[in-house]
Chain A
Amino acid sequence: AFHSFSKSHLADIISTVEFNHSGELLATGDKGGRVVIFQQELESKNQPQCRGEYNVYSTFQSHEPEFDYLKSLEIEEKINKIRWLPQKNAAQFLLSTNDKTIKLWKISERDKRPEGYNLKEEDGRYRDPTTVTTLRVPVFQPMDLMVEASPRRVFANAHTYHINSISVNSDCETYLSADDLRINLWNLEITDRSFNIVDIKPVNMEELTEVITAAEFHPNQCNTFVYSSSKGTIRLCDMRASALCDQHSKLFEEPEDPSNRSFFSEIISSISDVKFSHSGRYMMTRDYLSVKIWDLNMESRPVETYQVHEYLRSKLCSLYENDCIFDKFECCWNGNDSVVMTGSYNNFFRMFDRGYRQDVTLEASRESSKPRSVLKPRKVCTGGKRKKDEISVDSLDFNKKILHTAWHPQDNIIAVATTNNLYIFQDKL
């Protein structure tokens, strides 16, 4: 059972959530271009069972709104994705991106400062050199912890269209960035050059019928990556095959179910997120109504399919009318790939246990975030008599959507973002 441990944190509209590789840090990006990093407090000796709370560690402005003069367009500062680099030294590094520009940020701690300068007073004023009679060596004195974020690289001007994904390669030297029509490969050290590895832009833009929706590097094989499309296909590419990976190595696509065909079939098949399992053997895709698990060795159909909110299938026309059908939900794996999680409407989110074949619907709300409260499973009533504590489909609030969720890499700690709040839940078994 998931317990609420942390209070929710009020924020601007959260647009991305990501744990770092150890799980000690949790980064969020928002619509205002800000990044807020939370740090898990160390376990207290008094309560060894109780893992630490997450508190704000660093806040910085990653991107500012810009104006593209040539095209007369505003470039939003909203952070689309954050990805952490594996830690190599004391400092932490993350990549954050808006629609057009990717930045590498260094987050470092400072807890000592030099004191005892010869030519400067403690307050920084310069001393008159003629008053200096003795010399001393400055020493480091402890100070209150200060966390500094500084931009180390700016990777700009490589994307004509809007960036939807970034993914760090397992070689820790390169990363990819994907927009609607192209995918570029970067070296983390080099900002003025990138290599285009996928280009699906048709010669005639009138023939455009498909866009790239997400892309990710394989967690272990540094030559392999996947990208998903608005037509519900996933292509796996091997960078060793050729410089331009327009020819896929594998194409994953499930044949359409003829009994469910409608004018909305294509829209709901559009994949909003793709994530490799930690093992690298599977990948998960999210489309509008379901989550699918694919075995990388089988292209013809997914090995598992989980319905997130099947009761919406009869409402598709309304959801098309109010644009909710275009909402892009993300999905994530737990540390050992046994459970997957994704968001829904009414501040509900869903977990599917692959081993036990169980699923649960939980709600991120004020009530559920009271400390020590246990998250109660929720149920949507699809017709007929509504039982007590059930909520009917017509009462769902479609403005309360959970698009972004993240799972701690090892522990059962999850971060769930509603529109304005970040909820962190822990499993205290």
Chain B
Amino acid sequence: MANMYSKGTKRKFYDSVDAATDNKAALYSRQRQSLLDMSLIKLQLCHMLVEPNMCRSVLIANTVRHIQEEMTHDGSWQLVTEAFGSSGPSDHLVATEVLCRSSALEQQGGGPKLYSVMGYDGCREEEVVTDEALCSVTFSGGAPSLLGTIDHCWDRAELRMAAVEDRVIKDSGSEVESGEGAKTVMGQVFGTFEIKNGAPGSDPALEELFSAVDASYYDLDTMLTSIQSTPKMGPYNLLDSMASSHGPTSNSSCRTDLSELDHIMEIIVGS
């Protein structure tokens, strides 16, 4: 029976098939949640990159949509924000055969041991490349003065966003002393994915997601708009929530970052 229980699951007093099934369902549910978290973060990073790979973005967004549909079907979507704060950090990055629903693996009772993964390092690597690319770009003529300002500010904005993103990832993935920090951050992310009742076709959260993946996504204006306005998902929201949720003693540097970003955005938008 030992292999029916995953690490950290409370052993039930009554020992029955029902208990095993419930645990399996709970495990599946947690794993599915983990996949959803992972996908959302991947998409966020897509937004921050200068040139997201469209095929990858579309595939990840479709995955999110599938999970969302399934969670709507079994009614667990409403429980998302409530359930979020309670799960431990180790569950977030657990890769899962259960999620892959492979019947062969179920027979094997868990499947082969998984190798350790890079986790979010892979995502961060993309950011670094972008930063480097921005820093090392060569111009073949054009308006150097205007470009210099925009590029320089955008460069720093990208770096700031990368730093913030690192912090967000660390906050959500690590043991936080005050659970409110992570909860608020991810709550913010999830908050944008609330579904309207019975409207499978229109999904405002995903619409907002894709409102940036337009030809006009590549327009500076649209990109900035999607970052500045709420409640669209983006680094600004995360900064806001972090600034408000953390106590006055912590993260004064975060506030400095915020005002610096404000300043940078002002320059770019030219207000």
**Does the CB pair B137–A74 fall under 8 Å?**
yes
A137 at the A/B interface (Cβ < 8 Å)? no
Chain A contacts of B51 at CB under 8 A? 73-74, 76, 99, 162
Are A314 and B101 neighbours in the complex by a CB distance under 8 Å? no
Interface membership of A323, Cβ < 8 A: yes
Residues of A with C-beta under 8 A to B59:
230, 266-267, 270, 326
B200 nearest CB across to chain A (Å): 13
Tell me if A314 and B100 are in contact (CB < 8 A): yes
In the complex where A160-B215, A263-B67, A263-B99 touch, is A326 in contact with B134 (Cβ < 8 A)? no
**Chain A: minimal CB distance from B41 (Å):** 10
By CB atoms of chain A within 10 A, which of B54, B59, B133 has the most? B59
Instruction: Look across to chain A and name the residue whose beta carbon is closest to the beta carbon of B218.
Output: A71
Q: Majority SS of interface residues in chain A?
A: loop
CB distance from A75 to the nearest CB of B (A): 8
Complex contact A323–B112 (CB within 8 A): no
Q: Tell whether B267 is near chain A: CB-to-CB under 8 Å.
A: no
Secondary structure call for the B interface: helix
Task: Decide yes or no whether B154 CB sits under 8 A from chain A.
Answer: yes
- Assess whether B79 is interfacial by the CB under 8 Å rule: no
A210 touches B58 (CB 8 A): yes
Q: CB of B258 within 8 A of chain A?
A: no
Assess the A74–B134 pair: CB atoms within 8 A: yes
Which stretch in A4-12, A118-126, A201-209, A402-410 binds the other chain? A201-209
Q: How far is the CB of B147 from chain A (nearest CB, A)?
A: 6
* A69 touching B100, Cβ below 8 Å: no
Q: Spot the interface stretch: A59-67, A243-251, A276-284.
A: A59-67
* A140 on the B face (CB < 8 A): no
Q: Is A46 an interface residue (CB 8 A)?
A: no
Q: Once bound together, how far apart are the Cα atoms of A349 and B174, in whole Å?
A: 39
Interface string of A292-321 (1 = CB under 8 A from B): 000000000000000000000111111011
- Asked whether, in the complex, the Cβ of A72 is within 8 Å of the Cβ of B55, the reply is no
Tell whether A317 pairs with B53 under 8 Å between CB atoms, given A67-B139, A262-B102. Answer: no
Are A161 and B54 in contact, CB atoms less than 8 angstroms apart?
yes
- Asked whether A256 is an interface residue with its Cβ less than 8 Å from the other chain, the reply is no
User: Contact at A263–B63, with CB atoms within 8 Å?
Assistant: yes
Pairwise interchain contact A314-B105, C-beta atoms closer than 8 A:
yes
In residues 117-171 of chain B, which contact A (Cβ within 8 Å)? Answer: 117-119, 122-123, 133-134, 137-140, 142-143, 147, 150-151, 154
Q: Encode A189-212 as 1/0 by CB contact (under 8 A) with B.
A: 000000000000100011111110
As a 0/1 sequence over residues 68 to 97 of chain A, the CB contacts with chain B under 8 angstroms (1 = contact) are: 111111101000000000000000000000
Q: Among residues 193 to 209 in chain B, which have CB atoms less than 8 Å away from a CB atom of chain A?
A: 206-207, 209
Cβ of A393 within 8 Å of any chain B Cβ, yes or no, is yes
Rounded to whole Å, the gap between the CB of B268 and the closest CB of chain A is 9
Which of these binds chain A: B18-26, B89-97, B225-233, B248-256? B89-97
- Indicate if B213 sits at the interface (CB-CB under 8 A): yes
Contacting residue for A66 out of B54, B93, B103, B140, CB 8 A: B140
- Asked if A111 CB lies within 8 Å of chain B CBs, one says no
Q: Do residues A67 and B114 form an inter-chain contact, with CB atoms below 8 A?
A: no
Chain A residues positioned under 8 Å from B55 (CB to CB): 180, 211, 213, 230, 270, 326
| Any A CB within 8 A of the CB of B5 | no
Do A208 and B35 touch (CB < 8 A)?
no
Whole-angstrom CA separation of A64 from B151 in the bound complex: 18
CB pair B54 A180 closer than 8 Å: yes
Candidates A74, A76, A314, A320; contact of B102 at CB < 8 Å: A314
Report the bound CA distance from A358 to B143 in whole Å.
60
Chain A, range 156-176, C-beta contacts under 8 Å to B: 160-162
Tell whether B264 is near chain A: CB-to-CB under 8 Å: no
List B contacts of A326 (CB < 8 A).
53, 55-56, 59
- In the bound complex, residues from chain A placing their C-beta under 8 Å from that of B138 are 64-65
Q: A180-B55, A230-B59, A394-B113 are in contact. Are A206 and B66 (CB under 8 A)?
A: no
Give A311 Cβ to nearest chain B Cβ, in Å.
Answer: 8
Bound CA span A180–B243, Å:
39
A164 to chain B, nearest CB (A): 8
Q: Does A322 contact B (CB under 8 A)?
A: yes
Residues of chain A contacted by B122 (CB below 8 angstroms): 321-323
The CA of A270 and the CA of B210, in the complex, are separated in Å by 20
Known A-B contacts A263-B67, A316-B100, A323-B123; the reply to A230 vs B115 at CB < 8 A is: no
* Listed A/B pairs (8) with beta-carbon separation below 8 Å: A162-B51, A209-B61, A262-B102, A314-B97, A320-B35, A321-B118, A326-B53, A326-B59
Contacts A206-B210, A315-B114 given; 6 further ones with Cβ under 8 A?
A: A72-B151, A205-B211, A270-B59, A318-B117, A321-B38, A321-B118
